[in-house]
Structure 1
Amino acid sequence: EREDVSQILSSPQGRKDKLSALRRTLERWRFPERARLESDLAAAVARILNDTGLRVSLPVNLEGDKLGVTISAASAQEFAEHAERLKRLSEHPDIARIYSLLQGTL
């Protein structure tokens, strides 16, 4: 743990970046459950992106349980392709896991 702080302080980053990194490290130490939750959610979001090509956005500060997905299309065919991806997303096991994690039921 001390190594984390030492590495941050000795890094060539600017003051603002160092403070931000220190704050994240201290929050991880103080709230280890939240850090695990954030890690689990990030892994699930990454798997969904890899499997469906859709980027799922989580609620700000993990407050609430609404997810976001933004799509854009240049043709009706692209919209049809996105609709198929959204269908796959709704059936993806990690989407249910994300909702369970956000609602505190897992």
Structure 2
Amino acid sequence: MCDRTGWDAARLSWNICAPCRRGHIAKIYIADHWQRQGLGRRMVQRAMQRAEDYHWTTTHQSPQAQQFFPALARETGAAFTTQVPVCEHIRTAGYSLTTPCFERR
């Protein structure tokens, strides 16, 4: 997600598995000056479209995420558990996490 001037503002790494009805949030990156403005919430809600009733998990969490995911769980009804392993399909999908480049393109 870029801002109007072309700077990277945020990035979400996620995956879903329709056969297992699972969703997994691997990582959320949000530039410091865009924190606490609803971008993370909107990105996760977009990822959850048509998969709201899936079992959603996330990875080990930063201090910010430890506040974010429980609040989002209350809003969406998704558990966003951290200790439940992802399904075999997601685990073997072979996706990698990219490091965002918060610079003008």
Indicate whether the TM-score tops 0.5.
no
Report 1 or 2 for greater relative contact order, CA contacts < 8 Å, sequence distance ≥ 6: 2
Higher strand share: 2
Higher helix share: 1
Which of these two proteins has the greater Rg computed from alpha carbons?
Answer: 1
* TM score, norm. by length of structure 2: 0.30
